[in-house]
Amino acid sequence: VYLEEYAPRNIWTTLIEINIANLAGEPSIIFGLLALGALIYGLHLDRSLLVGGITLALLILPIVIVTTREALRAIPQGIREAAYALGATKWQVVRHHLIPYSLGGIATGTIIAMSRALGESAPLMTIGALTFITFLPPAPIQSQPPFVSFQWLNSEFTAMPIQMFNWISRPQAEFSALAATAGVVLILMTLSLNAVAIVLRYRLRKRIKW
pLDDT digits (tens, 9 = 90+) for 50-61: 888 889 898 888
Instruction: Tell whether pTM > 0.75.
Output: yes
Give 182's Cβ-side CA count (13 Å radius). 18
**Is pLDDT at 209 greater than 80 in this prediction?**
no
Q: Is 18 exposed, middle or buried (0-12, 13-18, 19+ CB in 10 A)?
A: exposed
Q: Residue 157 — pLDDT band, cuts 50, 70, 90? A: confident
What pLDDT does residue 203 have?
Answer: 82
- Where residue 147 falls (left for φ over 0; alpha for ψ -120 to 50; beta otherwise) is left
**Is pLDDT at 132 greater than 70 in this prediction?**
no
Give bridge partners of residue 141 from the DSSP assignment.
148
Q: Residue 85 — pLDDT band, cuts 50, 70, 90? A: very high
Cα distance between residue 182 and residue 185, in whole Å: 5
Q: What is the pLDDT of residues 87-122, one digit of tens each?
A: 889 999 999 889 888 888 888 888 888 888 887 888
